[in-house]
Copies of this chain bind each other. A is one copy, B any other.
Amino acid sequence: MKILNDLLALTGVSGDEANTAKFINDYVEKRKNSWKVLPKIYSGEKFHDCILLKFGNPDIAVFAHIDTIGFMSRYYNQLIPVGGPEVIPGTKIIGEDSLGEIRCQVQGDEEGIYHDFPRGVDTGTYFSFEQNVRIDEDFIQAAYLDNRIGVYNALKQCETIENGWIVFSTYEEHGGGSMPFLLRFIQETAPITKALVSDITWITDGVKHHEGVVISIRDRLIPRRSFLNRVLDLAKESEIPFQLEVEESGGSDGREIQFSPYAIDWCFIGAAEGNVHSPDEKVSLSDIDSMISLYNYLLANL
């Protein structure tokens, strides 16, 4: 899990993913020759801060978003959210502006958020939760497990995938915006009919730690049932632990697949976390294992 630790050390709030993209690009370059299939890599300015890896002859893609939630400084000492961060007074946040590095605390509540840095901060400065990774026998706890674990899973799949796209998207936490051009590029390059969204979901009254990776029957949107049934049949066949989710709200990169001008089936599959969008996101290690195993099985068999 060294790579997961490295990913957790990066900041990269929605709109500012360049450094995270560079890290993933470097990692891919270093590792790609050890993978079962050598991918064709699409990245760079033409793809903004996204990265696409094409393995073999794809009919499926895995999407993992590389951005995180955070804050942005407004005027005076005001902050406004990027994505939907939990606003917990006293939370330590970090940023950098023209005068140097910044470490301070969040104050206020969702009606009005402030930072307590003693000097003025440049308007438009991004802030991230200060990272604090804690691992014990059962759990990993840190900021930004959503979606560093989804990215970690996607990178693990690179080792064994034979046919498929592994795609790193941006902006997911703040309404999206990269998926439409990624999907167009995919459909014009090596089209797919199926997609899996490698992302993190929520512990709820029906989804619990240690009970396996979550296959989402729906969040705010509803994947096509006939596709979902095929996923569920394979999941049962695999004997990998999994649990089902049915939620009324929430969304993912699946949203932009649903509304894309292509008939692509999609399904959200990912481990569940507690303390969502806080610096203390918490995920079961065995659920991460199930996630990686199930993607492995589905990419070979779906």
A residues lining the B interface (CB < 8 Å)? 14-16, 18, 46-49, 72-76, 80-82, 123-124, 126, 171, 174-178, 180-181, 183-184, 204-206, 217-218, 220-226, 244, 246-248, 256, 258-263, 265
- Residue in chain B with minimal CB distance to A46: B263
- Inter-chain contacts of A175 with B (CB < 8 A): 220-221, 258
A123 and B206 contacting across the interface, CB-CB below 8 Å: yes
- List chain B residues, Cβ under 8 A from A259: 176-177, 180, 256
Can you give 26 contacting A-B residue pairs, CB < 8 Å? A15-B218, A15-B222, A46-B263, A47-B263, A48-B263, A48-B265, A72-B217, A72-B222, A72-B246, A74-B206, A75-B204, A75-B206, A81-B248, A123-B217, A124-B218, A124-B244, A124-B246, A126-B225, A174-B222, A175-B220, A175-B221, A176-B259, A177-B259, A180-B261, A181-B260, A260-B261
| Interface pair A262/B73, CB less than 8 Å apart | no
Do most interface residues of chain A lie in helix, strand or loop, or is the interface mixed? loop
Q: How far is the CB of A237 from chain B (nearest CB, A)?
A: 16
Q: Is B224's CB under 8 angstroms from A49's CB?
A: yes
B residues within 8 A CB of A206?
Answer: 74-76, 123
Contacts of A262 in B (CB 8 A): 180-181, 184
Chain B residues with CB under 8 A of A181: 260-263
Q: Return A269 CB to nearest CB of chain B, in Å.
A: 14
Interfacial chain B residues near A72, Cβ < 8 Å: 217-218, 222, 246
Among A81, A225, A263, the one with the most B-chain Cβ atoms within 10 Å of its Cβ is A263
Q: A225 contacts which of B18, B183, B221 (Cβ < 8 Å)?
A: B18
Whether B225 lies near A15 (C-beta < 8 A) is yes
Give every chain B residue within 8 A of A180 (Cβ-Cβ).
259-262
Residues of B within 8 A of A49 (CB): 224, 226
Across the interface, which residues of B come within 8 angstroms of A225, CB to CB?
A: 15-16, 18, 126
What is the CA–CA distance of A81 and B247 in the complex, to the nearest angstrom? Answer: 10
Contact B224 A48 (CB under 8 A): yes
Q: Which residues of B contact A223 (CB under 8 A)?
A: 15
Closest partner residue, chain B, to A222 (CB atom): B15
